[in-house]
Structure 1
Amino acid sequence: MTASYMEMWRLVAPEVIVVITALCVLSVDLAWLRDAEPRLRSTVATLLSVAGCAVAIGWILRAPLTASFGDGVLVLSSVAQHVQIVLLVLTMLTVLLASGASFTRHISEYLALMLMATVGMMLLVSTQNLLLIFLSLELLSLSLYVLAAFDKRSARSAEAALKYFLFGAISAAFLLFGFSLLYGLSNSTNLSTIASTLQSAPLDPLLLVAIVMMLVGLGFKVAAAPFHFWAPDVYEGAPASSAALIASGSKVAGFFILYQVLVLGLAGAEGSSAWHGYAAGWMPVVAMVAALSMVLGNLVAITQTSVRRLLAYSAIGHAGYMLLAILAHTNQSFSALLYYAITYALTVLGAFGVVAVVEHEAGGDTLAHFAGLSRRAPLVSLCMLVFMLSLAGIPPLAGFFGKFYVFASALNADHGLLWLVVLAIAMSAVSLYYYLKVLKSIYVGEPADEALVSVPVVQQVVLGLIALGVVVLGCVPSLLLHWL
């Protein structure tokens, strides 16, 4: 038994390191820096957080594992560990972008919650057990609810967090009910065992109910329509760094576990989503969600004047594209999904970094606040140009190859997904319009103030590195694909 627990601790060592880092950030601030200057407190908390994430990455790289513990409770593979590294890198970048934030005096508590959310994401991608999936999602969600409400001076932040919490609680109830039905049908919480049990029995009506329930719960986590109602308000009202983490790391972890639950746990219950060839299963339900997400997200984004809300509806559209890779459910489509999710997360993280700069200087995030930014902050504007064009899918940026790989994998899977691919390409063309609206405001609009924007060096460096990463991963996509 002792050996078993030692093995378990070895498997969760990266998560333990991040938890210890969160406790250290809190302890150092409370014990020694409570009366210090805010800038010093922010710097120390940021450095400790980044260092802890770096140590966790070093542990994973030093001792790569392919192992499992319990009944699928912990399942580590090279892919899962690589995704954990990506999540840690995204957290480090978010922490650096949040350094020097003025919306709170409790920076150590803020960063500690961000680290705890990261722990939830890391556990989520390293399990194939329904119980730990649910617990990891709740650890992630509870941390994000508080992060969304952390700007106590903003009524919009409080409203966004309340909506996020209420919708999240309802979606968690649906998810738990779906999981309970799945457990009742299979007598197991292990995804592989569930799949083998369900394959040996005819499609049960209760299984269809469980599929719908689980898609309601997990669809909320990835902001897919019609479970997206929380996203625009949260993206608009939450502090920029909180919204960035919700839009980036949370999205990567959410799509990873959604793929695991549907493709691994419900193998044999796929059905068909081919045009005029529907068959009962999870594929037709996911196909409808994907189509609705692409259409609603992109069409509503056109009408937005707030860049935050524009990014929120854009995220709903991108969720529809990523669901295409899940519908294809092949090895090629899984690689395409990971590439898309990671590059999208990196791009939207950079976009929120630019939004934070504009909000700090201009006091808002509407298109009018971005007017003439190219003359006031050339480097930041160039970064935003890269991010917007990548989100639109313009070559040779990472967003183009992400869409290309997803659409190609959907066509190669031979599941009758041509109609969805055509719809996705049409909606991608629509999305170019509203991304260009942002760039038009930046490069053509007349600024209200000609004074140069003062951007901290750390934020400039981080935004520059993210933009460079988007360009490099677009020009040489094999760097990420081969690693994954």
Structure 2
Amino acid sequence: MGGVNYGALMRGAAPELIVLATALVVLLADLAGLRGVSLRVRWLLTGLMSWAGCGVAAVVLLHGTTGFQAATGPLGFAVDGLAVWVKGVVLLLSALTVGLSMASARTRHVGEYLALILLGTVGLMVLAGAGDLLMVFLALELSSLVLYVLTGFDKERGEAGEAALKYFLVGSVAAAFTLYGMSLLYGVTGTTRLEGMAQGVGGAPMGVTLWAGLVLVVAGLAFKVAAAPFHLWAPDAYQAAPTPSAALIASGSKVAAFAVLVRVLMTGLPQGAGSAGWGAWVPGWSVLLAVLSVVSLVWGNLAALVQSNVRRLLAYSAVAHAGYGLLGLVAQDRAGVAALMYFAATYALSAVGAFGVVSVVEAQRGGQARLADFAGLSRRAPGVALCLMVFLLSLAGIPPLAGFFGKFYLFVAALGSGGSLGLLWLVILAVALSTVSLYYYLLVLKEAWVRSPLSEGDEAGWEIPWQVRVTLWVAALGVVLLGMFPSPVLRSLESALAGSGL
């Protein structure tokens, strides 16, 4: 480890250290000083501490990490443009998740729950800047272990424990695949550093061992983004987990996983990309991702059509969105990666907001939110119904919301890949299935805006905690602003990627 500037290392990892310290402070404050006060005050004070920690970490991230990448040497942990962008998004999503937790996480273990959310945030932030296979694996496991616990945190519900166990078992298999694949890549290239892997492969053709390692690593990372057929954990986890837990799994986990997938494939194994263009098939990871994209698009959208439980509907929507996102990697260029990260951020904001609305409905109705439970939402809580419309129409890709531009830039990047229209077949399929998704989103909006309340005279307004209102309006405003100003965001992303060597 000689040659590492540990002062620079501490400065570059300062955002993660701040969030980690915040988790410990929240846990200690709740255990030592707040057990004698009411549950509502405990949630408020610890939530405000968590917000403050995320805010300070964001400020340090934007202003205190310059020049860190070159100073870390063999550690494989960098704060380049892509890492800063992804970490900023993760911090925002974590803060929104904390806002939902303050009002909708029905547990007395306040400090433990918020500390787990913050520790998961640390894992996702480390994952965003990992430039070494070992660092990638450690960050994956740190974030995954936290998410397993958050999924089954509500011990009073048997289905939560069952979903957490299923998530853990499938995740353990995915971790084993990933680690074995990484060992194969190391055996062939002689290094775990992503830049060194690309040099180790050189211009030589990819052998069987390298192919096996690549397939196993892609399979493990596909589990994290919930791409079919590695999505089997997602519907149960989204349905049974506490609402804030499901929101973090659907949003922050997907953004960070897409970022590390970009690094591993485009930095570590650019020579193995191949081509998925129609009539010009060349074996490579782009073909593998194209297959995963097709399966995710078809299965996610068709399965969502028959769901009456809104959480499961959002889970299959997440599977479909993983398929859309993979288009950016299949394009194999900087424009595609920029479109992918923009799309991931817009999806994540919409997903957090959608789960926030689900938490409101479940708090009023009790039990799991089904389609019928949204009936008359516009009369009981018009502001919440308006936010729901923004989130779902963005997920459906309706202009001028951010989700439309996210998909649009992905399709443009895919069509412009290689200067030909070889990926036109994949774009046509994605557009067709995007119209299918509009149908099941409109089913929810129909209940909220057209249907009358379930019982006569049940039109009284709902009292919604201010934390949830703030979370919903911040997420909705983010979706609208990203839709109004997509070009500056895309340009900043492309500049960040250029500084990252992508």
For the Cα contact (< 8 Å) 2:104–2:359, is it kept in 1?
no
State the match for 1:334 in structure 2.
337
Alignment size in residue pairs: 484
For the Cα contact (< 8 Å) 1:199–1:267, is it kept in 2?
no
State the match for 1:403 in structure 2.
407
In the alignment, structure 1 residue 263 sits paired with structure 2 residue 266: yes
Q: Once structures 1 and 2 are overlaid, which stretch shifts more, 358-367 or 70-79?
A: 70-79
State the match for 2:303 in structure 1.
300
Give the aligned residue type for 2:371. Answer: L
For the Cα contact (< 8 Å) 2:350–2:391, is it kept in 1?
yes
State the match for 2:348 in structure 1.
345
For the Cα contact (< 8 Å) 2:309–2:369, is it kept in 1?
yes
Q: Provide closer, same or farther for how the CA distance between residues 6 and 470 of structure 1 changes in structure 2, counting only shifts above 3 A.
A: same
Stretches of structure 2 that go unaligned for 5 or more consecutive residues are: 494-502
In the alignment, structure 1 residue 376 sits paired with structure 2 residue 385: no
Q: Once structures 1 and 2 are overlaid, which stretch shifts more, 377-386 or 92-101?
A: 92-101
1:386-465 paired onto structure 2 within 5 Å:
386-414=390-418, 416-448=422-454, 449-465=458-474
Counterparts of 2:59 and 2:104, CA distance in 1: 28
Q: Which of 201, 205, 226 pairs up with 2:229?
A: 226
Q: Tell me by how many angstroms 1:400 deviates.
A: 0.3
Residue by residue, what CA displacement relative to the aligned partner does 1:252-274 show, whole Å, maximum 9, x if unpaired?
00000011111111111112212
For the Cα contact (< 8 Å) 2:12–2:65, is it kept in 1?
no
Question: Secondary structure at 2:9's aligned position in 1?
Answer: helix
Counterparts of 1:441 and 1:327, CA distance in 2: 37
Q: Which of 311, 315, 327 pairs up with 1:312?
A: 315
Q: Tell me by how many angstroms 1:370 deviates.
A: 0.7
Q: Tell me by how many angstroms 1:345 deviates.
A: 0.3
For the Cα contact (< 8 Å) 2:77–2:129, is it kept in 1?
yes
State the match for 1:18 in structure 2.
19
Give the aligned residue type for 2:460. Answer: A
State the match for 2:482 in structure 1.
473
Q: Tell me by how many angstroms 1:61 deviates.
A: 2.0
For the Cα contact (< 8 Å) 2:300–2:320, is it kept in 1?
yes
State the match for 1:36 in structure 2.
37
1:267-306 paired onto structure 2 within 5 Å:
267-306=270-309
In the alignment, structure 1 residue 168 sits paired with structure 2 residue 163: no
Counterparts of 1:267 and 1:65, CA distance in 2: 27
Give the aligned residue type for 2:349. Answer: L
Give the aligned residue type for 1:428. Answer: S
For the Cα contact (< 8 Å) 1:113–1:143, is it kept in 2?
yes
Give the aligned residue type for 2:120. Answer: A
Q: Normalized against structure 1, the TM-score is what? A: 0.98
Structure ranking higher on relative contact order (CA contacts 8 Å, 6+ apart):
2
Residue by residue, what CA displacement relative to the aligned partner does 1:456-475 show, whole Å, maximum 9, x if unpaired?
12211221121122112112
Identity percentage of aligned residues: 52
Q: Tell me by how many angstroms 1:3 deviates.
A: 7.1
Give the aligned residue type for 1:432. Answer: L
For the Cα contact (< 8 Å) 2:3–2:73, is it kept in 1?
no
Question: Secondary structure at 1:455's aligned position in 2?
Answer: coil
Counterparts of 1:14 and 1:460, CA distance in 2: 27
Counterparts of 1:32 and 1:314, CA distance in 2: 42
For the Cα contact (< 8 Å) 2:103–2:467, is it kept in 1?
no
State the match for 1:183 in structure 2.
186
Stretches of structure 1 that go unaligned for 5 or more consecutive residues are: none
State the match for 2:370 in structure 1.
366
Q: Which of 193, 197, 201 pairs up with 2:196?
A: 193
